[in-house]
């Protein structure tokens, strides 16, 4: 298995494990929904119950205080004993509900039976609703024989109390309809029945309005429940997305560790193999050179001489390939150190021209240079820049046919940097193959058919070396017209001469508005007068 296939295989395995886990969770949730008798997810049911309980516990003080105000208000038309009894009953029902809520929150979520707890809260809320409904019965006998104004005031207050209770219970229990019904239906029925007993069109209208208001609050509770469910769904999706991202991060980290391990193993392997290959390769090159030069006597068979030449050329090619692989490995592993110094790119292309001149002449290729002597020096690694130029020029020599032309040029870029360019008149590279040839071991189809031997590492090394300098490689090519490979050094690599500072004495005299020359003559005359050697002291 190749190094690139390792992360893909890990990702596939993780994906299969994640799919199995998700399917198992979905099956478990379906079984729980069937057992709970509801279409909601079990965690949603638990969250809705939790919202209801927290709302009740949050109003543990305010609601009894509100009930106390109701009791005080009804003392204006009802006996005090009835109001106090009603207050005790409703607070007792509230205490039971709050106690069940505290027990629910203390229980571990994994051990909570949602269906059983929902039934408990419905019973507790029904008890509380019946206690609230008794408010409509407080002072019934006393109001029947009271004045019209007292009857009107008491019943309007009871109607307003119903609206307040419906609003509060809708806010608290809208997430669970069964609890909402248990807490609001008894009081609504009691208030409507009391209003209808008066046998008056006005109170009949109030009763009708009470029913309408109750239906409106049920509709409002339905909207609040939908909002709560949407919020829970969004939160669940967010949690699932976060979990999936964590899973993918774990997969990515695992793949990265495997890739780093494989890269370390590759580097160790190449370092070991370079030593193991170079040792016998040096012997092959040395002995083949001795045999080719016939140092210990002539080789009479010409075939043997040809074979020795082939062995020597193959050995040199193999050594060059090993060196390229090791250079690329050092660069990619970050162990390639730049030894920077001032240099001229024109000197670099001139040196590379001289090194490859014999090879160019052997193929009948014309090589010319285009460089300006006025270009400033650059701060770069001389060995790296020489290798860049040699690799680009070697590629041009490989692909340029006999009688072609290669131009080595150096110039300035618009942003203040400098470039080194190698242009040839070779077969060119198709535009869709340029990204491929810039990769390690990448070769174009047309170039592979017409070129000499090579491993496809030259341009990859060039690109990595110029990027170490903060520059870039720009490869422009057109079929049957040639290729232009240009490396660009950024502006901060160019060393520019500083403007000379003006002498301090001249700045002083210029500041005073005098010329330095008369001042110097005055000092010389004064010195001559003291020494007795001036013309003024000579006799007339």
pLDDT tens digits, 414-436: 998 999 999 999 888 888 888 88
pLDDT tens digits, 359-417: 899 889 999 999 887 889 999 999 889 989 998 998 888 888 888 999 999 999 999 89
| Dihedral angle sign, alpha carbons of residues 465, 469, 472, 473 | negative
177 pLDDT higher than 50:
yes
Average pLDDT score over the chain: 80
Q: What is the pLDDT of residue 230?
A: 84
Q: What is the percentage of the chain residues whose pLDDT exceeds 70?
A: 79
Cα-only R_g, the chain: 48
- 14 pLDDT tier (thresholds 50, 70, 90): low
Instruction: With residue 476 as reference, give the H or E element that holds it.
Output: strand 472-478
Match 């010329």 to its residue by tokens: 515
CA angle 261, 262, 267 (to 5 degrees): 100
CA dist 116 and 128 (Å) reads 19
Q: What is the pLDDT of residue 531?
A: 41
- Concatenate the DSSP letters of all residues of 143-202 into one string: HHTS-HHHHHHHHHHHHHHHHHHHHHHHHHHTT-HHHHHHHHHHHHHHHHHHHHHT--HH
Does residue 25 or residue 477 have the better pLDDT?
477
Q: What is the pLDDT of residue 508?
A: 47
- 11 pLDDT tier (thresholds 50, 70, 90): low
520 pLDDT higher than 80:
no
3-state secondary structure of 422: strand
CA dist 376 and 496 (Å) reads 6
- 339 pLDDT tier (thresholds 50, 70, 90): confident
- 239 pLDDT tier (thresholds 50, 70, 90): confident
CA dist 295 and 314 (Å) reads 21
Taking the C-alpha atoms of 188, 189, 191 and 193 in order, what is their torsion angle to the nearest 10 degrees?
A: 160
Match 């692989």 to its residue by tokens: 325
Q: What is the pLDDT of residue 417?
A: 92
3-state secondary structure of 343: strand
Measured CA to CA in angstroms, residue 2 lies from 6, 196, 401 at distances of 7, 87, 37
Assign residue 132 a region: left if phi > 0, alpha if psi is -120 to 50, beta otherwise? alpha
What does the pLDDT average to over 499-504? 57
147 pLDDT higher than 50:
yes
Which tokens hold the place of 38? 């509801």
Which tokens hold the place of 370? 């285009």
At a CB cut-off of 8 Å and minimum separation 6, what does 463 contact?
Answer: 438, 473
Q: What is the pLDDT of residue 389?
A: 92
Write a three-state SS string for 357-420: HHHHHHHCCEEEEECCCCCCCEEEEHHHHHHHHHHHHHHHHHHCCCCCEEEEEEEECCCCCEEE
CA dist 435 and 443 (Å) reads 10
- 93 pLDDT tier (thresholds 50, 70, 90): very high
Measured CA to CA in angstroms, residue 445 lies from 118, 237, 391, 429 at distances of 73, 49, 19, 9
Q: What is the pLDDT of residue 26?
A: 57
Q: What is the pLDDT of residue 41?
A: 60
CA dist 23 and 409 (Å) reads 65
Q: What is the pLDDT of residue 18?
A: 62
Does residue 65 or residue 235 have the better pLDDT?
65
The model carries a pTM of: 0.48
Residue in 457, 458, 431 with CA at minimum distance from that of residue 446:
431
Taking the C-alpha atoms of 149, 155, 161 and 166 in order, what is their torsion angle to the nearest 10 degrees?
A: -150
334 pLDDT higher than 90:
no
Alpha-helix runs per DSSP H in 198-301? 201-293
- 288 pLDDT tier (thresholds 50, 70, 90): confident
Which tokens hold the place of 251? 């997969």
- 537 pLDDT tier (thresholds 50, 70, 90): very low
Q: What is the pLDDT of residue 486?
A: 92
Q: What is the pLDDT of residue 403?
A: 87
Asked if residues 287 and 311 have their Cβ atoms less than 8 Å apart, the reply is no
CA dist 244 and 202 (Å) reads 62
In total, the chain counts a number of residues equal to 540
Strand 366-370 versus strand 405-412 pairing type: parallel
CA 210, distance to chain mean position in Å, is 57
Pick the CATH number of 340-493 from 2.60.120.10, 3.30.56.10, 1.10.3720.10, 3.30.565.10: 3.30.565.10
524 pLDDT higher than 80:
no
Q: What is the pLDDT of residue 385?
A: 92
CATH 3.30.565.10 intervals, the chain: 340-493
What does the pLDDT average to over 238-242? 84
Does residue 501 or residue 319 have the better pLDDT?
319
Which tokens hold the place of 142? 């006393």
- 536 pLDDT tier (thresholds 50, 70, 90): very low
Which tokens hold the place of 195? 């209003």
Does residue 141 or residue 221 have the better pLDDT?
221
Q: What is the pLDDT of residue 316?
A: 80
């Amino acid at each position: 298995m190749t190094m690139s296939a390792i992360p893909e295989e890990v990702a596939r395995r993780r994906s299969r494990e994640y799919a199995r886990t998700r399917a198992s969770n979905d099956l478990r949730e379906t079984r729980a929904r069937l057992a709970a008798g509801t279409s909601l997810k079990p965690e949603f049911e638990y969250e809705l119950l939790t919202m209801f309980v927290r709302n009740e516990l949050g109003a543990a003080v305010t609601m009894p205080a509100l009930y106390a105000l109701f009791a005080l208000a009804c003392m204006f038309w009802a006996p005090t004993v009835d109001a106090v009894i009603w207050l005790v009953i409703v607070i007792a029902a509230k205490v039971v509900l709050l106690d069940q809520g505290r027990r629910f929150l203390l229980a571990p979520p994994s051990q909570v039976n949602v269906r059983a707890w929902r039934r408990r809260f419905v019973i507790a809320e029904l008890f509380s609703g019946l206690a609230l409904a008794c408010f409509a019965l407080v002072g019934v006998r006393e109001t029947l024989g009271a004045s019209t104004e007292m009857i009107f005031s008491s019943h309007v207050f009871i109607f307003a109390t119903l609206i307040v209770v419906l609003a509060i219970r809708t806010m608290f229990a809208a997430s669970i309809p069964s609890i909402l019904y248990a807490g609001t239906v008894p009081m609504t029925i009691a208030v409507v029945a009391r209003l209808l007993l008066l046998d008056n069109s006005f109170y009949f209208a109030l009763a009708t309005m009470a029913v309408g208001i109750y239906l409106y609050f049920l509709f409002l509770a339905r909207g609040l429940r939908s909002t709560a469910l949407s919020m829970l769904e969004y939160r669940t999706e967010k949690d699932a997305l976060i979990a999936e991202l964590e899973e993918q991060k774990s997969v990515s980290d695992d793949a990265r560790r495997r890739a780093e391990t494989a890269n370390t193993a590759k580097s160790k392997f190449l370092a070991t193999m370079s030593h193991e290959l170079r040792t016998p390769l040096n012997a092959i090159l040395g002995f083949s050179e001795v045999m080719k030069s016939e140092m210990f006597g002539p080789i009479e068979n010409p075939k043997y001489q040809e074979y020795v030449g082939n062995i020597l050329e193959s050995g040199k090619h193999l050594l060059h390939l090993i060196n390229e692989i090791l250079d690329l490995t050092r660069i990619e592993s970050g162990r390639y150190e730049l030894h920077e110094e001032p240099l001229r790119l024109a000197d670099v292309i001139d040196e590379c021209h001289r090194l490859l001149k014999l090879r160019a002449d052997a193929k009948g290729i014309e090589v010319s240079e285009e460089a300006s002597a006025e270009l400033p020096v650059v701060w770069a690694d001389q060995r790296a820049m020489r290798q860049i130029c040699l690799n680009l020029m070697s590629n041009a020599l490989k692909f340029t046919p006999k009688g072609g032309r290669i131009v080595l040029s150096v110039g300035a870029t618009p942003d203040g940097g400098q470039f080194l360019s190698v242009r040839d008149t070779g077969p060119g590279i198709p535009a869709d193959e340029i990204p491929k040839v810039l990769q390690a071991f990448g070769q174009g189809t047309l170039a592979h058919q017409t070129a000499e031997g090579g491993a496809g590492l030259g341009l990859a090394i060039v690109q990595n070396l110029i990027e170490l300098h903060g520059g870039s490689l720009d490869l422009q090519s057109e079929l049957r017209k040639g290729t232009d490979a240009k490396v660009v050094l950024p502006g901060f690599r160019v060393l520019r001469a500083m403007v000379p500072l003006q002498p301090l004495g001249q700045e002083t005299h210029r500041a005073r508005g005098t010329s330095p020359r008369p001042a110097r003559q005055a000092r010389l005359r004064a010195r001559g007068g003291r020494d007795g050697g001036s013309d003024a002291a000579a006799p007339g």
